[in-house]
Amino acid sequence: MTTSAADLLLWVALPYVCLAVFVVGHIWRYRHDQFGWTSRTSQLFEHRWLRWGSPLFHLGAFMVIGGHIVGLAVPDSWTEAAGISEHAYHTTAVWAGSVAGVAMVTGLGMLCARRLLTRRIRLGTDRSDKLLFPLLAATVLLGISATAAHNVFGAGYDYRESISVWFRGIFTLRPQPEAITGAPLLFQLHALTACLLFAAWPFTRLVHVWSAPIGYLSRPYLVYRRRAIAQAPVPHGAPAQQPGTRRSRHPA
């Protein structure tokens, strides 16, 4: 099976470029924009829709991410070796995936609705949000449509024999673009928007994912700090700035 230049571009070059942007972008953002690194909460402005939309979206997202890790990273030979039949696997995946997907889509829909309908939130929506929300919505909707069209109502498509192989090939540095070229269009589009989402990630509010405050479970309640023993003030935006030198630069 030969792969065309377009396939190489879409299924090898694009994923690697996006991954590179993802990694380098995060390093850059972490070093230069601690001040902008936040969940950018808008609960102050609207809480009725957020109260349902945000937990639905986030908890749905956790399940969806978990499902993707299992479905993409774990080869089907492993699950079969563990004694889980193909049929049992797919039944579970479709059921759990549907619940998670519906929760995530409902939640995201509510979050998008409040963002669009509440004027003060809409006005507080910045450029990164205008990129993130459509991209995230497209990825999620394509993903759930692909699952619905092919695996819930359709004849069933075994992505573990194709898309997962392509996915693992990216990370094992043995790219296999031919594994995904035969996949249904909805799955392909889902994979492409996901790549773009990963590229956009470090430049959006999605970075707050990496700040999940797990350490809070074990740290002492009271935090004492001495006044920072800092070097001479570094001009803002100077290239050689180290993380930490801006600590307590804006205590307010």
Partner 1 sequence: MKVMAQVAMVMNLDKCIGCHTCSVTCKQTWTNRTGVEYAWFNNVETKPGVGYPRRYEDQERWKGGWMLDKRGRLVLRSGGRVKRLLSLFSNPDLPSIEDYYEPVTYDYDNLVSAPAQDDVPVARPRSVLTGKPTAITWGANWEDGLGGAPEHAGGDPNLSGEWAQKVKFEFEQTFLFHLPRLCEHCLNPACVSACPSGAMYKRVEDGIVLVDQDRCRGWRMCATACPYKKVYINHATGKAEKCTFCFPRIEAGQPTVCSETCVGRLRYLGVLLYDADRVGEAAATPDEKDLLDAQRGVFLDPSDPQTVAAARRSGVPEDWLEAARHSPVYDLVMRYKVALPLHPEYRTMPMVWYVPPLSPVLDAVDAAGGDQDDPDHVFTAVTRLRIPLEYLAELFTAGDTDVVAGVLMKLTALRSYMRERSLGEVGDETALKAVGLTGREAEDLHRLLAVAKYADRYVVPAAHKEDSAALSAMENRCPVEFSGDAQPTDGRRVMLGIPTLRRRTSDAPAGGHL
Q: What is the 3-state secondary structure (H, E, C) of 178-216?
A: HHHHCCCHHHHHHHHHHHHHHHHHHHCHHHHHHHCCHHH
Q: How many CB atoms lie within 10 A of CB 248?
A: 10
| 240 contacts partner 1 (rule: CB under 8 A) | no
Binding to partner 1 (CB under 8 A) within 49-78 occurs at: 50-52, 54-55, 57-59
Site track for partner 1 across 94-123, x = CB under 8 A:
-------------------------xx--x
Question: In the complex with partner 1, which residue's Cβ is closer, 83 or 251?
Answer: 251
| 237 contacts partner 1 (rule: CB under 8 A) | yes
- Among 5, 82, 173, 238, interactor with partner 1 by CB under 8 A: 238
Stretch near partner 1 under the rule CB under 8 A, chosen from 64-72, 141-149, 164-172, 204-212: 204-212
| 47 contacts partner 1 (rule: CB under 8 A) | yes
- Minimum Å gap between C-beta 20 and partner 1 is 19
| 203 contacts partner 1 (rule: CB under 8 A) | yes
Question: In the complex with partner 1, which residue's Cβ is closer, 41 or 92?
Answer: 41
- Minimum Å gap between C-beta 198 and partner 1 is 17
- Minimum Å gap between C-beta 68 and partner 1 is 20
Pure H helices in 39-162: 48-68, 76-81, 86-117, 119-123, 127-146
- Minimum Å gap between C-beta 190 and partner 1 is 25
CA distance 249 to 232: 12
Q: Which residues contact 218 (CB under 8 A, 6 or more apart)?
A: none
The per-residue DSSP string of 103-128 comes to HHHHHHHHHHHHHHHSHHHHHT--HH
Instruction: Decide if 237 contacts 32 (C-beta within 8 A).
Output: yes
Give helix 14-32 / helix 163-171 axis angle, nearest 10°: 50
| 27 contacts partner 1 (rule: CB under 8 A) | no
Q: How far is CA 1 from CA 48, 173, 176, 177, in A?
A: 54, 19, 11, 10
| 228 contacts partner 1 (rule: CB under 8 A) | yes
Which residues of this chain interact with partner 1, rule CB under 8 A?
A: 33-47, 50-52, 54-55, 57-59, 119-120, 123-124, 126-128, 203-204, 208, 211, 213-217, 219, 221-233, 235-239, 246-252
